[in-house]
């Protein structure tokens, strides 16, 4: 299913709250417009309101020890979107409570569907906004530990943003995760100029955007239903707790290799 054919479908996909029961068609990775559309529309009656627009960094009066900064996927709304962002934010807050805040990009990052086809995979405005929020975090809260996440087009945003940051901000970042990374193959599974051990890239084998094309398949919607949600929270916890003894007072960080999810687990 080509990207240009799914604007309306992606609007529905981005409206899904999480976690939700996953229809069998998506769970098994069946790949057709009709199957995916049916899977999405079957979930519409279960839609509910979510807390998906936190501004804990940009509007918070005081600094928190940890911040998770998110770039949502195309056509999602809120600072952290409505798919993988909210449950990861919640999972981290369940662990760290008020020590952790969440925030994200917008409104300059609009998440426009056709922005995916640009050379950078997003807009210059989105990249500039992302650089600014990290610079703001560094200036306002230089002792806070920073995390990042990016889903779909948001992963492309983070590729560009993190690569553009100076070393002193890189040093403040404990780690980040990219889900359904539209630049995974083009970037050889890494973020240019950023330590590989600080990045976890999660791409299902049937996610068509991860392997050099912009084919939105069933696998692109699976990250909150295939175990990667909980896996992401635990991986970020490991990065936080071992980062310079901050946030959790843990031991020095142990280097880990980035992992691309290929469905073996």
The three-state DSSP-derived secondary structure of the chain is CEHHHCHHHHHHHCCCCCCCCCCHHHHCCCCCHHHHHHHHHHHHHHCCCCCCCCCCCCCCCCCCCEEEEEECCCCCCCCCCCCCHHHHHHHHHHHHHHHEEEEECCCCCCCCHHHHHCCCCCCHHHHHHHHHHHHHHHHHCCCCEEEEEEECHHHHHHHHHHHHCCHHHHCCEEEEEEECCCCCCCCCCCCCCCCHHHEEEECCCCCCCCCCCCECCHHHHCCCCCCHHHHHHHHHHHHHHCCCCCCCCCCCCCCCCCCECCCCC
On whether the CB atoms of residues 222 and 207 are closer than 8 A, the answer is: yes
What is residue 52's predicted lDDT score, i.e. its pLDDT? Answer: 83
Q: Running along the chain, 265 residues long, what does each successive block of 10 average in pLDDT?
A: 43 40 38 40 40 88 96 92 94 96 95 94 98 98 98 98 98 98 95 97 95 90 93 97 59 40 44
Burial 124-137 (b: 16+ CB within 10 A, else e): eebbebbbebbeeb
What is residue 57's predicted lDDT score, i.e. its pLDDT? Answer: 97
Q: Which residues contact 234 (CB under 8 A, 6 or more apart)?
A: none
Q: 152 burial class (0-12, 13-18, 19+ CB within 10 angstroms)? A: buried
In total, the chain counts a number of residues equal to 265
What is residue 251's predicted lDDT score, i.e. its pLDDT? Answer: 31
What is residue 261's predicted lDDT score, i.e. its pLDDT? Answer: 53
What is residue 12's predicted lDDT score, i.e. its pLDDT? Answer: 38
Instruction: Please state, in angstroms and rounded to a whole number, the distance separating the CA atoms of residues 204 and 77.
Output: 23
Q: Which residues contact 116 (CB under 8 A, 6 or more apart)?
A: 3, 74, 122, 152, 153, 156, 182, 214
Instruction: Please state, in angstroms and rounded to a whole number, the distance separating the CA atoms of residues 104 and 219.
Output: 24
Q: Which CATH class is domain 3-241?
A: alpha beta
Task: Return the number of other C-beta atoms located less than 10 Å from residue 257's C-beta.
Answer: 8
Handedness of CA 209, 214, 218, 224 (dihedral sign): positive
Delimit the domains of the chain by residue range: 3-241
| CA-wise closest residue to 196 among 221, 176, 213 | 176
Judge if pTM exceeds 0.85.
no
The residues carrying an active-site annotation are 152, 207, 220
What is residue 245's predicted lDDT score, i.e. its pLDDT? Answer: 56
What is residue 243's predicted lDDT score, i.e. its pLDDT? Answer: 85
């Amino acid at each position: 299913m080509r990207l240009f054919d799914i604007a309306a479908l992606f609007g529905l996909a981005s409206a899904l709250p999480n976690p939700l029961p996953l229809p069998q068609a998506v769970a098994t990775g069946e790949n057709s417009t009709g199957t995916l559309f049916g899977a999405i529309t079957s979930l519409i009656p279960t839609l509910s309101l979510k807390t998906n627009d936190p501004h804990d960094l940009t509007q918070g009066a005081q600094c928190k020890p940890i911040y998770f900064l998110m770039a949502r996927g195309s056509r999602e709304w809120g600072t952290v979107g409505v798919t993988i962002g909210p449950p990861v934010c919640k999972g981290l807050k369940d662990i760290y409570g008020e020590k952790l805040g969440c925030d994200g990009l917008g409104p300059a990052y609009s998440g426009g569907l056709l922005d995916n086809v640009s050379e950078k995979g997003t807009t210059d405005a989105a990249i500039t906004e992302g650089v600014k929020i990290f610079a703001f975090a560094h200036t306002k809260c230089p002792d806070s530990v920073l995390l990042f996440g990016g889903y779909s087009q948001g992963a492309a945003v983070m590729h560009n943003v993190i690569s553009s940051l100076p070393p002193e901000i890189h040093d403040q970042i404990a780690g980040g995760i990219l889900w359904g990374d539209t630049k995974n193959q083009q970037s050889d599974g890494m973020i240019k100029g950023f330590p590989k051990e600080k990045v976890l890239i999660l791409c299902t084998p049937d996610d068509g955007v991860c392997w050099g094309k912009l084919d939105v398949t069933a696998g692109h919607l699976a990250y909150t239903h295939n175990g990667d949600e909980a896996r992401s929270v635990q991986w970020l916890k490991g990065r936080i707790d071992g980062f310079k003894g901050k946030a959790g007072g843990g031991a020095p960080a142990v280097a880990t290799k980035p992992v691309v999810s290929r469905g073996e687990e």
